[in-house]
Amino acid sequence: MVTVTPNASGFGAEITGLDIGQPLPADQLAAVKAAWAAHGVVWFPNQPLDHDQLEAFTLQFGDFGLDPYVKPLADRPHILEVRREPDETASVFGGAWHSDWSFQPMPPAATILHSKVVPPVGGDTEFADGCRAYEALSPVMRGFLDGLTTIHSATRPYGANGIYANEAPGRSMEIINCVEADSQQTHPLVRVHPVSGRKALFVNPIYTLGVAGMSEAESDNLLGFLYRHMLRDEFVYRHKWRPDMLILWDNRCCLHNATGGYDGHRRVMHRTTVAGEQPIPVFA
């Protein structure tokens, strides 16, 4: 029997009682999708998976997403290996708050991460709840934000002069920096979840360049306020990994951040994404 055990806040839940290495029966898949929509982040302990099983699990939620700027496994174009070696000095990949690929016209609905090698210390992943953060704002602020549009781009990390292009050599992952990453995409600042119907703040410090129609100072002040608000302790869940654990999170309403603290130890994760839809604005 599928058992869903949510965190006290309702944000994040553990799911047990099923084998995700096999195709899920219709009732179990429906239960997982319902938990994912309700809790934003769900995880499955003790689930050893090979590449075929990881891909098959992913495809039960939709088509593969498009993952640019990071070279995938040689024989698996839809699996990224998030690897950091014991002696590596490069910054932690994904080590800043973001929503995966929000610069795309249709950002991924889900990201899936499966643990292969878990360090004995550090390496936690933090998640922030964009729905509860939005709902905690005053009615006046919510009404103001509902009609705003934001500008997203991959230029900061992946542009021709981005962060990864200018770092010292020695990263075990191959990052692809190019001028295409400098392109821009607009999205609603507040998006409506297509399943739950809840509204969520859809901005992040890495890919959101600004608010359309505002001066730089106005935009910076507004976004700075929103980031401080979204990352308050009551909206954040810090996940501790164990070997053979899979996490499925919802990029439509969550931010996440990869933490460090495991220098001298290897950490290896395999990652896929599920294709999403064009973000739904409040005033569709």
Over the stretch 104-137, which tens digit does the pLDDT of each residue have?
999 999 999 999 999 999 999 999 999 999 999 9
Tell me if 221 is assigned to some domain: yes
Q: Half-sphere exposure (CA, 13 Å, Cβ side) for 61? A: 29
pLDDT at 93: 94
CATH number, position 260: 3.60.130.10
Tell me if 154 is assigned to some domain: yes
pLDDT at 282: 97
Residues of the chain below pLDDT 70: none
H or E segment to which residue 228 belongs: helix 216-230
Tell me if 47 is assigned to some domain: no
pLDDT at 165: 83
- Tally of domains within the chain: 1
Tell me if 200 is assigned to some domain: yes
How many Å apart are CA 18 and CA 244, to the nearest integer?
Answer: 14
pLDDT at 208: 98
| Helix, strand or coil, per DSSP, at residue 191 | strand
Q: What is the pTM of this model?
A: 0.97
pLDDT at 3: 98
How many Å apart are CA 62 and CA 140, to the nearest integer?
Answer: 37
Span 231-254, pLDDT tens digits: 999 999 999 999 999 999 999 999
DSSP E strands, the chain: 3-6, 13-16, 41-44, 80-84, 110-117, 125-129, 149-153, 184-188, 190-192, 199-201, 208-211, 236-239, 246-250, 254-258, 267-274, 280-281
How many Å apart are CA 231 and CA 84, to the nearest integer?
Answer: 26
135 CB-near residues (< 8 Å, 6+ apart): 198, 199
pLDDT at 147: 96
Tokens of 146: 């509902």
Tell me if 183 is assigned to some domain: yes
pLDDT at 160: 87
Bridge partner list, 31: none
- Residue 12 · residue 237 · CB < 8 Å: yes
Pairing mode, if any, of strands 41-44 and 13-16? parallel
pLDDT at 96: 96
pLDDT at 166: 81
Tell me if 59 is assigned to some domain: no
Structural domain that includes position 220:
64-281
pLDDT at 177: 87
Tell me if 22 is assigned to some domain: no
| Helix, strand or coil, per DSSP, at residue 80 | strand
CB count within 10 Å of CB 134 equals: 25
Tell me if 33 is assigned to some domain: no
